Amino acid sequence: MSATTAVSRRKAAPGRLAGAKVQVQRRARAVLDPVVGWLARTGTRPDQVTVLGTLLAVAAGLAFFQGRFRLASGLLLASGLCDILDGQLARRLGGSSRFGAFFDSTLDRLAEAAVLAGIMGFYLRNLVALVFQSSEALAQVALGLEPVTWAVMAFTALLALVASYMVSYTRARAEGLGLQCNVGWFERPERLVLLIIAGMLKVFWAMSAALLLLAVLSFWTATQRVRHVWKLTRGAGQDQ
């Protein structure tokens, strides 16, 4: 394989991922279109759907904190559906407003923080419990689960939260400067899907792997956006 072919394939991979993402979004919207029509006929407003989705995400965060991972995943799935419905409903009713877009984006950040804070709280709660239950700590060590593992996973959840915010912030800041910044495919829908699948599996390694993957891919996406903005500004000779 020539070097040119290898480079071409690397450049084509993100395009294929983006294309697959668009196809999935179109199919999801087609499936939900009857629900959108019903919401429009009942007089439901997009902002109401947005608030409902946020409340469901907060409930999911509480369920994660309590260790009820499958319930949390179900609530998170419902929240994600609301995230699709509010945008479709806004378009059905004549287009989204600037405040609606701002309100939706703001509550999305709150929802994501609630979910990841709930997961982090779950790990911290178990770590603190071991301080007062030495027999349980010894039993976990016998099974190969060191107490420090709970602390590491709590820190990983924190990293995942920071990385998620970096993905959103880099795009928002770039657009605030008047630059298009649609690069990077690992965004909020992909993060939700990853957490939903891990929660449904309800095994320790699944959520651990999901948080680590979420943090790595989110930081990578944020890095792609920083590089993209650099190319549009300093790389193009626009900035000193």
Report the percent of the chain where pLDDT is more than 90.
58
Point out the catalytic residue in the list 83, 86, 104, 108: 108
Task: Please tell me the pTM assigned to this model.
Answer: 0.86
The yes-or-no answer on residue 108 being catalytic is yes
Report the percent of the chain where pLDDT is more than 70.
89
Instruction: Evaluate whether 185 touches 221 at the Cβ level (below 8 Å).
Output: yes
Least confident stretch, 120-134, 138-152, 208-222: 138-152
Instruction: Give all domains of the chain, ordered by start, each with its CATH number.
Output: 3-232 (1.20.120.1760)
Residue range 88-93: mean pLDDT, rounded: 89
* DSSP tag of 217: H
Residue range 146-163: mean pLDDT, rounded: 92
Could you report the per-residue pLDDT of 69-78, keeping only the tens digit for each?
A: 999 999 999 9
Residue 31 and residue 25: Cα distance in Å, rounded? 10
Q: What are the tokens at 78?
A: 């419902």
Among candidates 132, 158, 161, 137, which has minimal Cα distance to 147? Answer: 137
Among candidates 112, 59, 75, 85, which has minimal Cα distance to 218? Answer: 112
pLDDT at 154: 95
Q: Is residue 140 scored above 50 in pLDDT?
A: yes
- In Å, how far from its chain's centre is CA 162? 11
Residue 158 and residue 44: Cα distance in Å, rounded? 35
Helix, strand, or coil (residue 177) = coil
Residue 115 and residue 219: Cα distance in Å, rounded? 18
Average pLDDT in the chain: 87
Residue 11 to residues 5, 109, 197, 240, Cα–Cα distance (Å): 10, 30, 29, 29
Among candidates 100, 91, 56, 86, which has minimal Cα distance to 74? Answer: 56
Helical segments of the chain, H only: 3-41, 46-65, 69-92, 98-132, 134-142, 147-176, 188-201, 204-232
pLDDT at 11: 53
Residue range 133-142: mean pLDDT, rounded: 73
